[in-house]
Chain A
């Protein structure tokens, strides 16, 4: 599968799910938001009411889930759900 993470360490979700779905599920869990709020255009800080600590925790959860590292600079550029999905897809492919 193209989106299968090379380092599956810490992965809990079934790996068969597409990356975008896994990212969205994780966002729902971390930010306690409903799935229909988590559109690709939704901004974390504006639309999903995340504060700076929520963002740190979300980045940690993504790192853990997909077995990747996200630098502070990279994290700062992840503003929307779509940004997060695109970043993860690019990193694990």
Chain B
């Protein structure tokens, strides 16, 4: 079977910038920060007391009470974003061919909030008070499970738990499943909800988080010289991917064509990238190779850009190695400057942002870019969104354990 062409027809976002795709995009173009003091728990004893929280989310807008209380927050975000994406794509239920519609939704960590609550019950009241819904509310793949139940999607159903690359792996795997004929439509992306004491405390112990507690909106500052760590975000980014001919035949509006899905491993260290950025270099090259694209075909990169001292320096060098002289003509934004780092949700959210960048022909900025860092010397679209001709966007995601993904999206009018 010749590989089939795969397009994106729906984008659904729940982010710290807004509940919904349009609201999130407005925030990105306005260069708004989603960060603030942590309100989910008393963080006063923590070294990092800031996060990008989703505001005003009511799970009962997307599920009845009986179902909603059996889902961790990350599942509720995934469900809401999936419903937005399905509506955006014009995917009607009941599905015409449910066995050909699948769901891959990842989470880096799963239901941390639920784990902490039930663990407290174990300690305070004993094992017989652990909820029978503890496991299904918390397990990573239950986001895909709930979305499949809701949509009646009986095709491939899966989830990756690859840390900060998880959402990007989901989109990439969905692309592969359609490309090679295992499904015709996939609902795919990532979700995360980890603004909890254990999770913030764990990342804080790694010294991975920004401690700019007095200025939360200025804390996530990728590529800026004074960056000091990432800011935890939460939410979900879900796409609807479809086989191109079928999407065109039903008159769907295309956001983008998915051209390449690169994967690589660092084989180096549990949390740090290798100094030569080899994992990042090889993953971007793999995406370009699958797409049959030259470096010059790419106009923009949605960087992993976490705002940690190490990532941004090494990612910049890796982009230079892959793109050579063309690197100076690339726009390299990190939208984590505004959304914070959604961990396993980031790859889904940023794949959605890549699609919106192509649709609106507008580059989202990297905010809080104030002091140039000589080691991060690319065009990071500082502080202000910019209209531009964008033919294709590469979206990078790198995860702990040395798990890397790069996805290449092209404007549907290009080819």
Contact = CB atoms under 8 A, between A and B. Distances in A.
Interface stretch (B64-72, B185-193, B304-312): B64-72
Contact of A31 (B66, B128, B132): B66
B133 interface: yes
Nearest to A31: B66
Q: How large is the interface on A (under 10, 10 to 19, 20 to 34, 35 or more residues)?
A: under 10
A60 B130 CA distance: 9
A32 B66 contact: yes
Interface in B121-149: 128-129, 131-133, 136
A57 B66 contact: no
A64 B121 CA distance: 12
Contacts of B132: 53, 56-57, 60
Given A32-B65, A32-B66, A32-B69, A60 B133 contact: no
B66 to A, nearest CB: 4
Contact of B129 (A32, A53, A60): A60
Interface string B110-130: 000000000000000000110
B129 A57 contact: no
A60 B131 CA distance: 8
Contacts of A31: 66
Nearest to B64: A32
A9 to B, nearest CB: 10
A47 B174 CA distance: 40
Contacts of A60: 128-129, 131-132
Contacts of A32: 64-66, 69
A43 to B, nearest CB: 17
Nearest to B65: A32
Nearest to A50: B66
Contacts of A53: 132-133, 136
Interface in A1-46: 31-32
17 contacts: A31-B66, A32-B64, A32-B65, A32-B66, A32-B69, A53-B132, A53-B133, A53-B136, A56-B132, A57-B131, A57-B132, A57-B133, A60-B128, A60-B129, A60-B131, A60-B132, A64-B129
A67 to B, nearest CB: 12
Interface in B188-236: none
A34 to B, nearest CB: 11
Given A60-B131, A60-B132, 15 more contacts: A31-B66, A32-B64, A32-B65, A32-B66, A32-B69, A53-B132, A53-B133, A53-B136, A56-B132, A57-B131, A57-B132, A57-B133, A60-B128, A60-B129, A64-B129
Contacts of A57: 131-133
Nearest to A55: B132
**Most chain B C-beta atoms within 10 Å of own C-beta, residue among A31, A56, A60:** A60
Nearest to B129: A60
Interface string A54-69: 0011001000100000
A49 B173 CA distance: 36
A53 B142 CA distance: 16
A32 B131 CA distance: 16
A25 B69 CA distance: 17
A73 to B, nearest CB: 16
B3 to A, nearest CB: 42
A31 B67 CA distance: 10
Contacts of B136: 53
Interface in B43-83: 64-66, 69
Nearest to A64: B129
A56 B66 CA distance: 15
Nearest to A58: B132
A23 B384 CA distance: 59
Contacts of A64: 129
Nearest to B135: A53
A60 B133 CA distance: 12
Contacts of B65: 32
B31 to A, nearest CB: 42
Contacts of B128: 60
Contacts of A56: 132
A57 B136 CA distance: 13
Contacts of B64: 32
**Most chain B C-beta atoms within 10 Å of own C-beta, residue among A31, A32, A56:** A32
A53 B134 CA distance: 10
B267 to A, nearest CB: 42
